[in-house]
């Protein structure tokens, strides 16, 4: 196991990084208004996805604060497991990668960010910069990386369960969103689909310029 003092320092840094990403996300989301005339994706699925995402965020924050207050020994629950230091370090790398991808995706999507994905916004366009050059849904991908990283970092099977549920839920949500985007942007979005991966870059792809 990693030294508990080091883990607490990394946990604090992780919380601060998450707060920075979240504040930037909310700031950018309020710049441009939603276009109520535009079609919207499947609402029940979108609401369920948002609710699940909030549960994941609050669960992650709760685990981090419990760890900071009580230490690692008190985190040994009935769905816990033990990992060696190498796997914990891999978890840290995945968590950092998830936060970085999320930050870059939010910055690239900019004022088109929509917290509840209710409608497209005025003047919406297909974003092809930053991680959107090779991934169509980098914000979903970042959450998958983060949940897997938290599983390895804390050794809690709850995060593995969240990861597996997220794969299914984000897949169906992404498909719903892509149907809407095809309706709005047509061949432009189909071309974009052909050269990008849904959550992870294609092994063989042409970069969008």
In the chain, the percentage of residues whose pLDDT exceeds 70 is: 84
DSSP of 91-137 = HHHHHHHHHHHHHHHHHHHGGG--SS--SPBTT-----SGGGGTBS-
Of the pLDDT bands very low, low, confident and very high (cuts 50, 70, 90), residue 207 is very low
**Rounded-to-integer distance, Cα 63 and Cα 58, Å:** 9
Longest Cα–Cα distance in the chain = 55
Kindly report the pTM of this predicted structure. 0.83
Give the model's pLDDT for residue 208: 43
State pLDDT tens for residues 93-105.
Answer: 999 999 999 999 9
**Rounded-to-integer distance, Cα 56 and Cα 38, Å:** 29
Give the model's pLDDT for residue 209: 42
User: What domains appear along the chain, each with residue ranges and CATH number?
Assistant: 4-115+123-194 (1.20.120.1630)
Cα→Cα distances 7→10, 74, 78, 85, 147, Å: 5, 14, 21, 11, 17
State pLDDT tens for residues 140-169.
Answer: 999 999 999 988 888 888 888 889 988 998
**Rounded-to-integer distance, Cα 128 and Cα 138, Å:** 11
Give the model's pLDDT for residue 142: 93
Residue ranges of alpha helices (H) inside 136-156 are: 138-154
Tell me: pLDDT of 206 over 60. no
State pLDDT tens for residues 14-61.
Answer: 888 888 888 888 888 777 777 677 766 667 777 788 888 888 888 888
**Rounded-to-integer distance, Cα 37 and Cα 14, Å:** 39
């Amino acid at each position: 196991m990693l030294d508990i003092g080091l883990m607490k320092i990394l946990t604090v840094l992780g919380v601060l990084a998450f707060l920075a990403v979240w504040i930037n996300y909310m700031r950018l989301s309020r710049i441009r208004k939603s276009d109520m005339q535009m079609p919207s994706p499947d609402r029940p699925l979108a609401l369920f996805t948002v609710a699940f995402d909030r549960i994941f965020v609050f669960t992650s924050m709760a685990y981090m604060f419990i760890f900071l207050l009580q230490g690692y020994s008190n985190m040994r629950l009935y769905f816990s497991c033990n990992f060696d230091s190498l796997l914990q370090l891999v978890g840290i790398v995945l968590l950092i990668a998830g936060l970085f991808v999320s930050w870059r995706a939010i910055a690239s999507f900019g004022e088109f960010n929509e917290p509840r994905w209710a409608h497209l916004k005025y003047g919406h366009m297909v974003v092809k910069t930053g991680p959107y050059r090779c991934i169509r849904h980098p914000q979903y991908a970042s959450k998958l990386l983060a949940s897997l990283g938290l599983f390895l970092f804390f050794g809690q099977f709850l995060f593995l369960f969240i990861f597996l549920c997220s794969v299914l839920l984000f897949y169906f949500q992404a498909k719903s969103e892509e149907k809407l985007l095809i309706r709005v942007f047509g061949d432009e979005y189909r071309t974009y689909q052909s050269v990008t991966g849904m959550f992870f870059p294609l092994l063989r792809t042409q970069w969008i310029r």
